[in-house]
Structures are given as structure tokens and as C-alpha cells.
Structure 1
């Protein structure tokens, strides 16, 4: 099964489990109903931005949509995130570890994730500004920052950056 079809099946199954119509999920994720329909049909490649928009209302981490296969990469032209590791804890929470590449001169606005989610970024190369929207902080190589992932947050870099992004999502099924 192709990754696109696997993602399509996960989105559809989660939407049905949550008792959401296409219209309701599209509205909660702030994406077009046609886009969601094409994603579920497996005829459209999902972007990182769209996957994050869907993950919040469905109450799952990113790997809940793309799978837990190490090495899997998702991108939206601004951010490329390649899964290095994922751990599901006894309480249902997850810790996802990604190799994170941020394109030069572009900004990524990420929608809120599940309540209680925390993100940690440690840069290896370049410089970046990241964090809760309106409270971003600048960091360089060797520096780390953390922020609440359950509010809108941004990533931007003047010349590009690389590092490790860790996303800690609490257990439970609470949705954004």
C-alpha cells in the first residue's frame, strides 16, 4: 500500500471513529471539504500543513496520520520533518522525534495540536526563530527552545536551519 493510501485510510477511519462528517472535520481543520475528500480518496498528496491541521481536530499526533515508520518524511516546502523515532507511552501519549529542516526565508505557521502538547527544538545548523505565535525566540546552533504546542506557533529561518524537533503529546482523546 502506498503511503498516500495509508494516510487516506487513517484519516477516514479516525473521522468515522470520532463521528465526524467530511464537512465537520474540514471546518474544524480549516481546510476545504474538497481537499479532505481528495485526501480520503487517496487522490491528493497531503502536505505537512494539512496533516497538522487534521491531526488537532482528530486528537492524534502527526504519526497517528502518517504512521510510525522510521525514516518517513513529510514536507510542505517550508518544513521537512523526517521521523527518527516515536514512542507510545502507557497512558496513550506519544513522544515523536524528527530530523527537522527549515527552508531559508520562509515561515511556517503551525495550528494548535492536542491540549498539553509541548514542542522542543534543538538546532544543529543555521539559525531560526520559533515558538508560540507572537512570542517566538531566536536560536542558533547548539541552542534549544521549548514551547506550548497546543497554541498556534511558528518556525522561520533567514538562511535555513536543521535540527531535532521533539513533540510530546499527552495521552487521552481530547480534541482541539
Structure 2
């Protein structure tokens, strides 16, 4: 199945900023629009619209593109929102049932770690494709109860609970009941992936 774009609640400025960043990242790697579309499974017309800022990207589409570029998701997003009390807008991206806001990005010699505030809406499952080898996700639930993880069995995580799983395989998120889940998600990507020199 090809990644597609769907409407999300993002401002035109956010879409344009993400599009410009995607174009810069693609050009820096010497990839044509067609080649990135092929590697990511995102349609060429969709990719062109995203880069032009005329289409809103979904979480699934952004992950497909950044994975094909050999980068973490945060590479395509605007800088994290400012600390509480400072002016700034929220850069939220949405998937089928999950909304994510990048709060912080940390980088050291070994890894890039991204911290997101997420919301899991009830009534569906957010399926995430495998991230690059060595990627691990850590979830802390603030409110509601989530079912998360990789493989056949999902782990139930309630308020105050946490769970970690290998995210270099397909994995899922869903609300356990009809109540929305509020959580913090930390995604740790190896700094250098095997295909990088």
C-alpha cells in the first residue's frame, strides 16, 4: 500500500515549511523527485504537492519520506515549540488516529532522540511502518489507557505507566477504550544508520 496524504489540521505556513524542508533534504542527498517517490512509496504527484506546500502531510507520509531519506521524522519538522510562556505556534502532524507535536530533539554521537506530545483518538488503530534498524520508542501515558507495541500482542499502558519497544518493526498504537489518550513519546534513532558511511 502506498503512503498517501490526507487533510490534517495544519496551517498553510506549516505545510509550506515542511515542503521546503523536504525539498532541501531531497536535494542534499542528490535524489530526484521520482527516486524519492520510488524509495518511499509516496506517489510522485503527492510528493510534488507536499514540496510545493499545497498538500498537508500525514504522519504516515512524513515517516515514509524521512525513512527513505535516512533521517528521523524531526528532520522534516519545524523547530520544536518554545518553552511554556514563550510565543510560538504548535507544529502538529496527524495520522489516522494519532496527533503528534515535536517538543524537543536531542542529538549526541550515538543517537537522535525526539520527544513528542501525542494524542491517540479512540476508535481506530495507528499502524506505523518499521523505522530504521535500532530505533526504539518509549511511551509514558498521562491520561487514558493505550494499547501499544510491536508484534501480535499489544501492551496495555494506563495513566502513569510506561512501555518501550523496538520500533524497527511494524508497530501500533490505539486507545484501549472510548477515551482519548494523552502521552509523551520518545523516539530514539541511531545517529548513523547501517547504510550511511
Structure 2-normalised TM-score? 0.81
Q: Does 1:23 pair with 2:23? A: no
The answer for unaligned runs of 5 or more in structure 2 is 1-11, 82-89
- 1:57-102 CA distance string (max 9 Å, x none): 111111100122224221124111112222122x273111111100
* Contact 2:139-2:185 within 8 A present in 1 as well: yes
* Contact 2:141-2:159 within 8 A present in 1 as well: yes
Q: Larger RCO: Structure 1 or Structure 2 (Cα < 8 Å, ≥ 6 residues apart)?
A: 1
User: Is the partner of 1:106 in helix, strand or coil?
Assistant: coil
Report the alpha carbon displacement of residue 55 of structure 1 after superposing the two structures with TM: 1.4
Larger Rg: 2
The answer for unaligned runs of 5 or more in structure 1 is none
Q: 1: distance between equivalents of 2:188 and 2:79?
A: 15
* Contact 1:118-1:148 within 8 A present in 2 as well: yes
Q: 1: distance between equivalents of 2:195 and 2:124?
A: 29
Q: 2: distance between equivalents of 1:175 and 1:57?
A: 11
Q: CA RMSD in A?
A: 2.0
Q: Does 1:78 pair with 2:97? A: yes
Partner residue of 1:144 out of 162, 172, 180 = 162
Q: Which moved more, 1:108-117 or 1:18-27?
A: 18-27
